[in-house]
Each structure stands twice: as structure tokens, then as C-alpha cells.
Amino acid sequence: MEEKMGGSNGEDSGEDQFPVGMRVLAVDDDPICLKILANLLCKCQYQVTTTNQAIIALKMLRGNKNRYDLVISDVNMPDMDGFKLLELVGLEMDLPVIMLSAHSDTKLVMKGITHGACDYLLKPVRIEELKNIWQHVVRRKKPDSKDELAAPNHDKSRGGTGEAGQTWVACSSDEKVNKKRKDQSEDEEEETEDNGHENEDSSSQKKPRVVWSVDLHRKFVAAVNQLGLGDQAVPKKILDLMNVEGLTRENVASHLQKYRLYLRRLSSVATQQANMVVALGSRGPSHLRTGSLDGFGDFCSFTGPRRFSSASLPSYQSRGTFGRLNSSAALTLSGISSGVIQPGNSVNGLGKIQPVVLPANQNQNGALFQGITASIELNQLSQTKSTNHFGEYNCVNERNVFRISSSFPDARVVVGSSSNSLSTASGNALVLQGNTQEVQWSAAFENLPSFGMTSLNRESNDLSVLGSSNCLEHGRCSENWQGTVQLSNFPPSNEQLPSNNLQESIPWRNSSPSNSRIALSSMASSAVLGDSRADMLCKAGLNNSYSHVDSRVSASGSMMDQNNAVSSNTNDVSLFSHLNGEAPFAVRHSEGDKSSSDTDLRSNDNFLFLQSKPQNGFSQNIFESLEDIMSPVFKLEQNNETAFMDGGFGFDVAHPLGSCM
Amino acid sequence: MDVVNQLQRQFIDYSASLHREGFLDDQFTQLQKLQDDNSPDFVVEVASLFFEDCEKLINNMARALEQQQGVDFKQVDASVHQLKGSSSSIGAMRVKDVCIAFRSFCEAQNRE
């Protein structure tokens, strides 16, 4: 249930009414506490919105980034852990979050802090404590807004603001948007409009929030990679490298911090799962589609270190930062793939990948990862749009991939429209990306699959063979896939690469590893998916077969394709995020959860199941539609597998791919 | 008017005594302060919500405790925790204290 209580703000035409009118979102499953809290907040003259479910809260937050200034959340909630919500909000929306609990246990407080909470209050809540919570909002805004926001004008003046608002909006838009977003999408509208609008009511200091679009993030990751994640990666240098105007050091610093946390999380996750099933899907779908940031959520979930933390991918997607998957999950995939791409060594790659991926994904396909999930290939495909991404993606991926993972067989990167890029030989995830655009993919995949697959086998890369090759060309893909599917060759669970995408139903010839086969076959069938989508789901089939965990992925993968979910756009790529256990991602296909079967990954359209092999985490990420890709965790861990799922296939083929070639 | 006054006085006395006895604490006073023109029945609403919630929690706990085959203390603990939170928010001090004691029993897995 949610209710909104109007605060008294607004009327004051005073200039700086802050903290009056600050918009707070309160989440607590205990109705009594919630009611009291709401009432207290009203007394402090804040604008309160309440809900007793974390999920609803997230939806509301994602619905409009600038609607709230602060979030207060209970720790123990039945539908979602308070800390998890805290993380998500922090990553996606960068809003200050205050934890609330009846427990005063030090460990809990510490946990709250490590997850990024601004403050930790004990129940019963007292009004004096609430009177001061606005300081957290100011503190966050401070660095950025200083310049532009010349507070007085823009903010408050509500009514008349007209101009002030305008200017401010303009400024802030700049600021905020400055990230690429702005330029590219006018739909930053939110920002602009909101800004203006926000200014007014928002408590004056509303500093235009920097939105980390995909592009921006990509640059960021690129810069970080360049500098190396060690001590060299200082915000100042990163900022210089990125060379984005309007971005402040503080923005970079805070983003860097989050990124580091994310990586850390990934590595811990990755270790467990070798396969990163691109579960991204789980996250993906929701965000991808909506563009919401879910990605981040997933981001974190990244299982297995190597893998591209699909989670990261998710973040891409949803987050505006990534540029949102743009409508199509494609982006997500991209994000994922990027994430995936990274594999290989530490998750870092993921970060990289992501940025890459996301950019432009507007197309669904593209977004999806084209890189990542090879499946994403979707580029296909029908979507055509995606193809672009892939290219991009792949390129990016490649780069990232290579960069990052170095381990990757860089061959992988293949992608690039050159399609074969996959050869990344490194065996690591091949990011099939090469395919970029459907055809390319197919070509790439074709190539890849073979190599990737094989290579994968070697390493155990599960290469997600991203089925990417699958469908690629539609006809082509199937061919390749078969070869690739061979992945089955890969030893262990190889990542059964994503289902043959679509259409092509690329029959994965799983000849080799049983796993791969399985998937492949499924893929093949799935490949048929229709055009777009990456039927990658073959993977699903594959996955299932896989003994490895990833099968999940595959399952999802299959999902992914779901039939093409091709609709690519929205496929909820729920892909596999699970792949390895990642379950979380379970790509949910929004579209149709297709195969809901285990595969969480439903990769919507394009996902490739990147099945990450259990082995090292070869998570093949099945890219299910982009989203899944994200999670595809290509776990490459093992070898570096990082199978990228670049765009589409990101095969994580960590090694084998290389060898295959 | 007299009646009203009388009632009011009674009310004050009653709550004072409750305070003294430790049933209620300052939080309740704060709650009362929260009530104003914007939310006239605030206290009443909160109190009734509290009762409902309490009832539910207590039922849960009872059910959990009555289980023959091993009591699920975690569940009981969770319920108690929630009850503790609610009661402290509303100012029911005694209930809250009891909850604290209860929780330590739960941790000791002591059914008695």
C-alpha cells in the first residue's frame, strides 16, 4: 500500500525552503511504525510517500528518478532485505538512504554502513532525529550542485520560476546530463523537465544529479581500465581521461567507489559460480526494459568474479547510466556482455564491458549485449537495431574484453561485425560480438562457435557460445553453432552457449561436450526463434544439459530466446542470470518467460546463454536478451573465460575459443 | 461541557498513572503531540493499528510455540522482534521490555 502525504512545502515561496518540502520515501513492513514515521515526517514538513513493500518502493523510485530526495527503509522486511534495497537504491539512483531498525546491534549498523547507508536510526524514531535527516541530502548534492545550481534561483522559486527554473534547468540539465545522455537523448527530458520542475519543489540544493549513462559509464570504465584498478585509478585522473565536460571529480569519485564495491561483490560471487549465467535476465528484464537501473542490482549479483557480473550489466541497463538499455533489452545485453566481456580476470572486465555495451543500445538488440550474449546477436536480427550495438558493443567489448580480461582470447572480440571475431580464441568468452549485426554475428558466430566452442571446451569455458553465432545470419548461424555448439566439447559444463539464436536455430552441434550439445540442440531449436531473438536459447537447451550450473542459464537461455523474444526489446532477458547459481537473475523474461524453466535466464531475445561453465565460472551467460547478458557472467573465471558475451554471444568461451579458431 | 472536562481529567489521570506504572513512556506523549488538526484521530488510529498487529503477532507466536515437534524459534523471534518495534514506536514500554526478555529466551531456545 502506498500513500502519499503532502507536505506543507511548496507553498513557501521562499527561496530556500530546504529542508522543507524534501521528498522522502518511507518503506517499512510494520504499519504502525510506518504510520508514525509518516506522521513525524510530515511534522518536519517533508513530503512523504509511504509503502510497506520494498518492491513497490523500488518501482516508484525507478519510475521517476528525481521524485525523491531521500529514502528511509526498515531493515527487516518480508519481501526484500533492507540492505539489498539499500544497495540497489544507492547504485541505481544514488539517493541517500537511511536504515531503520529496532535492532541496535553493532553488526547491523556496520552492515548498513558497508552497504552505503547514510544513517542508521533506531526505533522508536524520534522527531528530533528526523529533523536532521535533510543534511544527508544536502551532503550528497553539495559537490555537484555548487556550480550550477545557484540555488536560489532554481530551486525554489516555484511558481514564477519560469526563468529561473529555466536557466537552472538548463544548467542542471547540462550538468546532469552532461553525461552523454543529455546529448543523445533528449529524453533526458526527465531531467530537463524535472529539473525545472524539481527545482522548484526540490529543496533547493538540488543539484542536478549526474546520470551515469551507458556512454558515460563506458568512458569511465575505459578510463579506469586504462589506469589500472589499483592506486592509479584516482578520480582526478579518471576525470581527465574521460574528458567529459560538466563532470566533476566528486561524481567520478562516488561512482568509482560504487564501481569498486561492485567489483568486489562480483569477485566474491564469481568465485562461487563459475558460470555466470547471465542471469542478468533476472535483473534485466525489469530494468532493461524499463530501462530502470536494475542493472545494478544485477550488477552486484554477479556471480563469479570473472564473469561479467551480469550484475554489472544490469546496472547498465537500468541505470540511466548505461544509457539505458534503451528500450530494448538489447542494451542490457550489451551491458551484460560488456560485463561479460570482461571476464577473464576479475570482474573488472565487467565494468568495462558494460559501458560498452550499453551505449547506444537503444536497440534492443544492440543493447543487449550484443557483445555479451552473443545471443544478443539479436542484432539480428530482426531488430537490426541491435546490430549496431554489437558492433559497438563488440568493439567495445572487444576492447574491454581484451583489455580487461586480457585473458580473453581476444579473439573474441571478434565480434565486430566481422563476425568471427569471436575467435577470441582466448577461449574466453567469445564475445561473439563480432557479429554485430546479425549477420555479422552469424558470421562471427559461426566462426566463433566453432572456436569458441571448442576453445571453450578447453578451458572449460563454457563459452557461451553464444549462440551468437546462432542465428546470426539466420542461416548461418546455425551452421556455426553447430560447430560451436560443440562447445559441448568443452569440458564441463561448458557454457552451452546460448541457444542458437533464433532463427537460426543453430543447431549446436554439441558434438563435444554433452552439455553444449544439449544446449545447442536446444538452441537450434530455439534458434529458430524467430528472428530476432536470439534464440539463443539454445542455450537453454544447452544449459540444461549442462551439468553445470549454468544450465540455468541455459534454461534461461532458452528462455531467452524465448522465442525470440526478440522482441528484443523487451525481452526480459531474464536470462540466465542464474547461471551459476546466480539465480537471481533468472532472467525473467518479461516477455514471456519463456521457458521459465529453470533458466532463469530467459533471455529475451537475444540472450545468449552464456552459460558459464561451472568451471571456473565460465558462465556462459546466456544472454538472454540483453539483460541476461548482463548477468552472463561469463565467468570466465576459469580461464579468463570471461566469455564475453559480447553482444550476443559473448561467448565466454574463455579459452577454447581461441583454440577453436 | 462539564462532562467533557471530566472525561478529559480522567483521561489525564489515567495516562499519568500508566506512565508511572511503566506501561507507557515518552514515546506515547510524542505521539499525542503528533495529533493535530491535520490528523485528528491520529492516536486512536495508531493505537488500533497496534492492537491489530499485536494480535496477529501473538497468534503467530502462540502457534509457533505450540508446535510439538520442535519450536521454530526463529519464527518466534521474528515475531517478537516486530512486536518490539511496534510497541516501542507507540510507546508501550512494558510490552517492549517484555519483548526484550522474550527475545533472550528465544535465543536460549528455552521454551519455558
Do A253 and A186 form a contact (C-beta atoms < 8 A)?
A: no
Q: Phi/psi of residue A654, each to 5°?
A: -65, -55
For residues A49 and A390, the model is more confident at: A49
Task: Note the pLDDT tens digit of each residue in A363-375.
Answer: 333 333 333 433 3
Considering the four listed CATH numbers 1.20.120.640, 1.10.10.60, 3.40.640.10, 3.40.50.620, the one that applies to the domain covering A214-274 is 1.10.10.60
**Cβ within 8 Å of residue A256, ≥6 positions away:** A220, A224, A233, A235, A238
Name beta bridge partners: A414: A421
Task: Note the pLDDT tens digit of each residue in A35-48.
Answer: 888 888 888 888 88
Length of chain B equals: 112
CB atoms within 10 A of CB A120: 18
% residues pLDDT > 90 (chain A): 0
Most confident of A207-211, A386-390, A434-438, A629-633: A207-211
Cell of A392: 559497438
Of B30, B38, B49, the CB nearest to A32: B49
What pLDDT shows up at residue A59?
A: 85
Grade residue A238 by pLDDT with cuts at 50, 70 and 90: confident
Sequence spans of domains, chain A: 23-141, 214-274
Task: Note the pLDDT tens digit of each residue in A316-347.
Answer: 333 333 333 333 333 333 334 333 333 333 33
Rounded Cα distance between B79 and A158, Å, is 46
Rounded Cα distance between A488 and A585, Å, is 23
Range A23-141: architecture per CATH: 3-Layer(aba) Sandwich (3.40)
Nearest chain B Cα distance for residue A441, angstroms: 53
Rounded Cα distance between A548 and A566, Å, is 26
Residue B34 touches partner A, C-beta closer than 8 Å: yes
**DSSP for B25-93?**
-HHHHHHHHH-SSSSTTHHHHHHHHHHHHHHHHHHHHHHHHH-SS---HHHHHHHHHHHHHHHHHHTBH
Q: Phi/psi of residue B21, each to 5°?
A: -75, -5
Rounded Cα distance between A529 and A223, Å, is 38
Task: Note the pLDDT tens digit of each residue in A129-172.
Answer: 888 888 887 887 776 544 444 444 433 434 333 343 344 333 34
Residues of B in Cβ contact (< 8 Å) with A5: none
Residue B44 touches partner A, C-beta closer than 8 Å: no
Which residues in chain B show pLDDT less than 70? 1, 15, 18-28, 34-40, 67-72, 93-94, 106-112
For residue A69, pLDDT over 80 is answered with yes
Q: Phi/psi of residue A171, each to 5°?
A: -60, -55
Rounded Cα distance between A362 and A332, Å, is 9
Nearest CA in chain A to B29: A126
Q: Phi/psi of residue A24, each to 5°?
A: -115, 140
Task: Note the pLDDT tens digit of each residue in A161-172.
Answer: 334 334 433 334
Residue B53 touches partner A, C-beta closer than 8 Å: yes
What pLDDT shows up at residue A144?
A: 52
Residue B106 touches partner A, C-beta closer than 8 Å: no
What pLDDT shows up at residue A570?
A: 35
Do A151 and A204 form a contact (C-beta atoms < 8 A)?
A: yes
Place of cell 521474528: B78
Place of cell 528518478: A65
Nearest chain B Cα distance for residue A421, angstroms: 54
- B49: CATH: 1.20.120.160
Q: Give the pLDDT mean for A404-409.
A: 35
Rounded Cα distance between A552 and A569, Å, is 22
Rounded Cα distance between B95 and B111, Å, is 19
Residue B42 touches partner A, C-beta closer than 8 Å: yes
Rounded Cα distance between B88 and B91, Å, is 5
B contact test, residue of A1, A5, A8, A33 with most B CBs within 10 A:
A33
Grade residue A601 by pLDDT with cuts at 50, 70 and 90: very low
Of B38, B78, B86, the CB nearest to A33: B86
**Cβ within 8 Å of residue A593, ≥6 positions away:** A559, A562, A572, A574, A602
For residue A79, pLDDT over 70 is answered with yes
**DSSP for A258-314?**
HHHHHHHHHHHHHHH-S----THHHHIIIIIIHT-THHHHHHHH--SSSS--TBHHH
A contact test, residue of B36, B55, B86, B89 with most A CBs within 10 A:
B89
Rounded Cα distance between A617 and A492, Å, is 11
Place of cell 552441434: A509
What pLDDT shows up at residue B24?
A: 66
Residue B22 touches partner A, C-beta closer than 8 Å: no
Task: Note the pLDDT tens digit of each residue in A5-31.
Answer: 444 433 333 335 566 778 888 888 888
What pLDDT shows up at residue A46?
A: 84
- Does the beta-carbon distance from A36 to B85 stay under 8 Å? no
pTM of the model: 0.37
Residue A101 touches partner B, C-beta closer than 8 Å: yes
Count the domains in chain B.
Answer: 1
Strand A47-51 relative to strand A23-27: parallel, antiparallel, unpaired?
parallel
Rounded Cα distance between A8 and A517, Å, is 64
For residue A184, pLDDT over 60 is answered with no
Task: Note the pLDDT tens digit of each residue in A274-333.
Answer: 444 444 433 433 343 333 333 333 433 333 334 333 333 433 333 333 333 333 333 333
- Does the beta-carbon distance from B53 to A32 stay under 8 Å? yes
Three-state secondary structure call for residue B24:
strand
Give the type of residue at A17.
Answer: Q
**Cβ within 8 Å of residue B72, ≥6 positions away:** B64
Q: A549: buried, middle or exposed (CB in 10 Å: 19+, 13-18, 0-12)? A: buried
Q: Is the backbone peptide bond immediately before A381 cis, with ω within 30 degrees of 0?
A: yes
Residue B12 touches partner A, C-beta closer than 8 Å: no
For residue A55, pLDDT over 80 is answered with yes
Rounded Cα distance between A412 and A655, Å, is 10
What pLDDT shows up at residue A409?
A: 36
| Dihedral sign, Cα of residue B72, residue B77, residue B82, residue B88 | positive
Do A643 and A374 form a contact (C-beta atoms < 8 A)?
A: no
Q: Phi/psi of residue A152, each to 5°?
A: -50, -50
